[in-house]
Amino acid sequence: MEPNLDKVELMATLAELKEAFLEKWLEQTLATYPRQTLRFLHGEKDRFRNPVGHTLREGLATLLDEITGEMDLAKIRPALESLVRLRAVQDFTPSQAVGFIYLLRDILPEDLVGGSPPDVQRRIDETALLAFDLFMKCREEIYEIKGREAQREVYVLERLRQRAQGDGL
C-alpha cells in the first residue's frame, strides 16, 4: 500500500504544480493587456460576463496540459484557435498576439515536463508556429470581411446616387 500512496501524493503534487504554472502563465498573459482591461479580465470570474478571461483560462490550461503531456494536435488546435482568434481581433501586433506562448519558457521547469530541455523548447516552438499560422488565417478572414463590407457600402452609395439622379431629372 505504501507505493500507491506515494504515487497518489506525487500526482497531487504535480497537479498542484501544474495549477501554479497555469496561474503564472495566465498572469503573464493578462499583463499583455492594457491596465484598465487587465483589472476586469483578472477580477471578473463569471464566464458569461468575462468571456475573454474564461477563454484565456480554458485555452491556456489545455495548452499547458498538452505541452507537458501528449502534445495531441487534435486538442491543441481548437484551444489555440480560440485564443488566437480572440487576440487577432484585438489591438495586438502578430508577435504580441502569439508571444504569450513563449512566456511558458520562463515558467516551466524543463526537468519537470518529462522530456529533455530541447523537447520542451521544440514543443513550445511548434505551438507558437501553429499559433502564428492560425493568427494569419484569422487576419485574412478579417480583411476579407472588411473588403466585402466596403464593396457593399460602395454598392449602396452607388444605388443611392442613381436614385438621386433619377429623382432630379
Quote the Cα angle for 41-77-40, to 5°.
5
Q: Provide the pLDDT for residue 119.
A: 78
Q: Provide the pLDDT for residue 77.
A: 96
Listed range (7-11, 94-98, 128-132, 159-163) with the worst mean pLDDT:
7-11
Q: Provide the pLDDT for residue 52.
A: 87
Q: Provide the pLDDT for residue 74.
A: 94
Q: Among residues of the chain, what percentage have pLDDT more than 90?
A: 47
Domain that holds residue 41: 2-168
Q: Is 120's pLDDT higher than 80?
A: no
Top mean-pLDDT range of 52-56, 80-84, 86-90: 80-84
pLDDT band at 12 (very low <50, low <70, confident <90, very high): low
Q: Provide the pLDDT for residue 111.
A: 56
Q: Provide the pLDDT for residue 1.
A: 43
Contacts 24+ apart (CB under 8 A), 51-60: 52/86, 55/82, 55/83, 55/86, 56/26, 56/29, 56/30, 56/83, 56/86, 57/22, 57/26, 58/82, 59/83, 60/22, 60/25, 60/26, 60/29, 60/100
Pick 15 or 54 by higher pLDDT. 54
Q: Provide the pLDDT for residue 84.
A: 95
Mean pLDDT score of the chain: 84
Q: Provide the pLDDT for residue 42.
A: 72
Euclidean distance between CA atoms 23 and 129, whole angstroms: 23
Number of folded domains that form the chain: 1
Alpha-carbon distance values, 20 to 13, 16, 23, 74 (Å): 11, 6, 5, 25
Q: Provide the pLDDT for residue 53.
A: 87
